[in-house]
Amino acid sequence: MNKNAEVWVKALKSGKYIQATGSLSKIETTDPEDKTITVTSFCCLGVACDLFNRSLISKGYPSMWKENYSTEDDGSKRIPFLDYDGSAQESVLPKEVARWLGLASQSGTYFSGTIKNLIEGEGSLLDLNDGGIEFKEIADFISSEPEGLFEEIPELYNDEEYLKRLSEVSV
pTM above 0.85? no
- The helix (run of H) or strand (run of E) holding residue 61 is none
Residue 20 in contact with residue 42, Cβ under 8 Å? yes
Please write the tens of the pLDDT for every residue from 29-79: 777 777 777 889 999 999 999 999 999 999 999 999 987 777 887 778 899
Averaged pLDDT of the chain: 84
Helix then strand count (H, E) for the chain reads 7, 8
| Whole-number pLDDT of residue 106 | 93
Q: Please state whether beta strands 123-124 and 70-71 pair in parallel, antiparallel, or not at all (unpaired).
A: unpaired
Closest C-alpha among 108, 104, 144 to residue 24: 108
CA dihedral (126, 80, 17, 48) positive or negative: positive
| Whole-number pLDDT of residue 29 | 79
Q: Residue ranges of the chain with pLDDT lower than 50?
A: 115, 118-119, 121, 170-171
Q: Where are the domains of the chain?
A: 3-156
Residue 79 in contact with residue 88, Cβ under 8 Å? no
| Whole-number pLDDT of residue 118 | 47
Whole-angstrom distance, CA of residue 71 vs CA of residue 68: 10
